[in-house]
A and B are shown apart, each in its own frame.
Chain A
Amino acid sequence: MTTVVPGKGPGQGPGQGPGQGPDASGAADRAAVRVTDRAADRPAGGLAERGTDGEPGPETYESAFDAAVAADERIEPRDWMPDAYRATLVRQIAQHAHSEIIGMMPEANWLSRAPSLRRKAILMAKVQDEAGHGLYLYGAAETLGTGRDELLDKLHSGRQKYSSIFNYPTLTWADVGAIGWLVDGAAITNQVPLCRCSYGPYARAMVRICKEESFHQRQGYELLLVLSRGTDAQHAMAQDAIDRWWWPSLMMFGPPDDESAHSAQSMAWKIKRHSNDELRQRFVDICVPQAEALGLTLPDPDLRWNEEAGHWDFGAIDWGEFKAVLKGNGPCNEQRISQRRRAHEDGAWVRDAAAAHARKRQEAASR
């Protein structure tokens, strides 16, 4: 956690702040407190109590973990877990948290130009939600023993990734709608199964996040609907945005199943519940009728209803582009990460001041 504790800021006040009420982040915070007491590590599923002769051995821990996962029980921060399970979760949760804070940038790009006060308020609330999601997720990662500073450092130095979709630019106002409808839509398709993820704090954070994301998705859809039914220029703006965002959105589900490096183990651990290709197909099936209702055309001449399969067949994805963007050669990779780094570096004196002030207060109190 960073050293800054801004006290009762407006984020915790009445209104839209994510700090209010009993919620997933609260659970993550409580868990964060428990994890500091590592001596209390225990086998998952309460097997320790069922053990017969004193301290349970390593096999007991491992089999308790396996049994808990098999029985769809939640693994909690104090439970014993395999190192690789912990590392996989930290990597995934961090990538998700990073995606939330990097994802603020392409949207913030339009905050100053939103064309009505209502849209400005909706977009500002959305950007705020994303910062809040970042907070919950860094909190969830912290329950696994990895603090926010370390994760941010890995983001800034390129050792951890964020969703590649945010390396595409938002060129028109309609892109804000396309991000809501398609990008948030794809994210929800990916994330709803994570609400049943085997790791408790992550699963609980996802419940809250998915609720807010589905709100964002509806707002994006509605934004596009207004444009599509608006003037010719507005309709063209909406179609252009869909043309640019459709294929990158399909890439958000990751590489095809036979090329996905981490999938099999994550499925076994019930961190992941469905394969990349399954989720991608689900997303396409949802989007096709929605595009029709919007009066917009998805840019894929190969889209066909497959009666036998009960799914929409779609064209080949350009995985060359996916790999290029992932490797850092997308239109905005450099811009996004350097803005992040600059914000962090420019803010160092503020964080230092907060820490210094807190120390002075502590010293004064102990005198």
Chain B
Amino acid sequence: MTSTVADRPELALADDALILSHRLGQWAGHAPVLEEEVALANIALDLLGQARALYSELGDEDELAYLREERAFRNCQLVEQPNGDFAVTLVRQLFFSSWQELLYGQLTSMPLAVKAVKEVVYHRDHAEQWTLRLGDGTDESHRRAQHAVDTLWRYTGELFQPLPGLDVCWDAMRSGWEKRVTGILDRATLTVPDGPQHGGWAAGAGRQGLHTEPFGPMLAEMQHLHRSHPGAAW
């Protein structure tokens, strides 16, 4: 892979989509209700479709997905976070899809973004509806939803670290995102955390190829079969 591919912003967007798709796929057979088996798989499929379209513009999709090491992945740390319970997964969806909708909405010269923003609207709506249900549901669901918000908040700052090469107003992205997300959290009777939007040890690290520990095992599982048969076609 040439260094120019590594620097292309599409790579970061493709990695975001692939890794989140993979995480959502881990729900298959474990969702709390059958409708959510369908919904989560559908979102995972949309994201996988986005990743494939973006990788294909950069090179061979399987080479990019299966033959890069952990340090070469450019996804933000938010999407690699383990699924946790349903609240963690849905709050992760809320944070990410709200951001992705705003981003894709600005990328009017990127055909994939123009097409994908329509599906992302559904992802965001799905996440908002569940945030409202969980936040303003039972005491237990409220507690779990608040815990999810508190846990994932530190990974949201990275979303607004500018990706060189994208014609995006990042400050407007941040204020648009904060307005939207805090509005939903308020309606869901959840508290917006005071804490920083960055991990203190490595702010914005995913984009630089620094990932959290759970990412390595996830990637190893994803790549293992492909790497076990070098050069084979599937």
Question: Most chain-A CB neighbours within 10 Å: which of B28, B61, B129?
Answer: B28
Would you call A287 an interface residue if the criterion is a C-beta within 8 Å of the partner chain's C-beta atoms?
no
Task: Evaluate contact between A14 and B119: CB separation under 8 angstroms.
Answer: yes
Would you call B38 an interface residue if the criterion is a C-beta within 8 Å of the partner chain's C-beta atoms? yes
Smallest beta-carbon distance A346→chain B, Å? 7
Of A8, A14, A115, which contacts B225 at CB under 8 A? A115
CB-based nearest A residue for B85: A346
In the docked arrangement, what's the CA distance between A134 and B25, Å? Answer: 18
Known: A9-B126, A124-B45, A347-B33. A234 touches B232 (CB 8 A): yes
Interface residue B226 (Cβ < 8 Å from any Cβ of A): yes
Question: How many A-B pairs with Cβ below 8 Å?
Answer: 192
Cβ of A281 to closest chain B Cβ, rounded Å: 34
A132-B138 contact given A112-B222, A350-B86, CB 8 Å threshold: no
Interface string of A19-35 (1 = CB under 8 A from B): 10000000000000000
Which residue, of A10, A125, A231, A233, has the highest number of chain B Cβ atoms within 10 A? Answer: A10
Within 8 A of A (CB), among B132-178: 132-134, 136-138, 140-141, 144
Partner of B41, one of A114, A118, A128: A128
Residues A357 and B45 in contact in the complex (CB < 8 Å), given A9-B129, A104-B29, A116-B234: no
Residue A230 interfacial (CB < 8 Å):
yes
Give the interface segment out of B47-55, B104-112, B201-209: B47-55
Task: Determine the distance from Cα of A114 to Cα of B224 in the docked complex, in whole angstroms.
Answer: 9
19 A-B pairs whose Cβ atoms sit less than 8 Å apart in the complex: A6-B35, A10-B39, A10-B42, A13-B42, A112-B26, A113-B222, A113-B224, A113-B225, A115-B226, A117-B61, A117-B65, A121-B52, A230-B233, A231-B229, A342-B30, A350-B33, A350-B86, A352-B137, A353-B133
Interface residues of A, Cβ cutoff 8 Å to B:
2, 4, 6-11, 13-19, 101, 104-105, 108, 111-121, 124-125, 127-128, 131-132, 134-135, 138, 148, 173, 226, 230-231, 233-234, 339, 342-344, 346-354, 356-358, 360
Where the two chains meet, the residues of B that have a C-beta atom closer than 8 Å to any C-beta of A are 18, 21-22, 25-26, 28-39, 41-46, 48-49, 51-52, 55, 61-62, 65-66, 85-86, 118-119, 122-123, 125-126, 129-130, 132-134, 136-138, 140-141, 144, 218, 221-222, 224-226, 229, 232-234
Q: Which residues of A contact B66 (CB under 8 A)?
A: 115-116
Q: How far is the CB of B86 from chain A (nearest CB, A)?
A: 5
